[in-house]
Amino acid sequence: MPELEIISKFQEERIPALTSSKGWKEVLIKENREKLVALNSLEPDLIHVDPQYLKQDIPHALSIMYLRDGAANRLVKAAKLLPKGLKFLVWDAWRSLEVQQSLFDEFKKRLHKENPDWNDEKLNTETQTYVSLPSRNPSRPSPHNTGGAVDLSVCDFQNKPLSMGVTFDFFGKEASTNYYETLESTNSEQVLSRNNRRLLFHVMTYAGFTNYNEEYWHFDFGNQFDAIRKHTFAVYGSTSPK
């Protein structure tokens, strides 16, 4: 199905200005002890797992993707809202602290290469825009370590990703969720990317997730990132597969 022919009510509504996640580490956690659920065989007709960090040979990365049970159920709900012929392409979900550390170090190294004049404090701050600092503090776990964060896009039934303008883990303003909403462009590729981001954003938020405004692909449910946007407490703390 040609991408320009995809028609969905979710593509008609603009992505709004998104709530900041500033202060998320101070949000109270009331752990509900939901188990982690493997996404690989959960709903293969609706969810395709494509473990990017395993493909990139990130140390300790897994082939199995996990989300908390409540988040996984909402992911299926969101997938069922997609137009016929489309499904979710999941790049990453639960992360171990070892993977989180590897990613943080890798992105910090990349930023340092691009900005050799930045000191270590500046590098750490800027890196955390895209990769949370690994944390063993139970009151402020890394979002992906809770099983309540997922990185994903939309693909067709041949697993070809829809155009979103930039790729997963792109560093830059173009990765922000509502970037194309600000352009008021008539360029067909930009309009296509805008509409595809709208589709992803609206089906996920309709199902109960919130989006991290710096990354169109990152969504949260139940963790501190999600809770601060909903002005409530978190129900997912640090966890691991049993």
Q: Please determine, for residue 192, whether its predicted confidence score (pLDDT) is greater than 80.
A: yes
**The dihedral sign for the CA sequence 46, 52, 58, 63:** positive
Q: What is the CA radius of gyration of the chain?
A: 17
| Topology at the third CATH level for domain 3-97+141-230 | Muramoyl-pentapeptide Carboxypeptidase; domain 2 (3.30.1380)
Type of residue numbered 160: K
User: Tell me: the pLDDT tens digits for 96-149?
Assistant: 999 999 999 988 998 999 999 999 999 999 998 888 888 899 999 999 999 999
Distance (Å, whole) CA 175 – CA 222: 23
Residue 1 scores a pLDDT above 80: no
- pLDDT tens for each residue of 43-99: 999 999 999 999 999 999 999 999 999 999 999 999 999 999 999 999 999 999 999
Rounded Cα–Cα distance for residues 110 and 77 (Å): 36
More confident residue, 1 or 207: 207
**pLDDT by residue (tens digit) across 4-39?**
445 688 998 999 999 889 999 999 999 999 999 999
**Dist. CA 71–CA 91, nearest whole Å:** 15
Instruction: Kindly report the pTM of this predicted structure.
Output: 0.92
Q: Which residue in 45, 34, 77 sits closest to 219, CA to CA?
A: 77
For 161-191, how does the pLDDT look when each residue is reduced to its tens digit (9 = 90+)? 999 999 999 989 999 999 999 898 788 999 9
Polymer length of the chain:
242
Q: What share of the chain is helix, strand, coil (3-state, %, to 5)?
A: 35, 15, 50
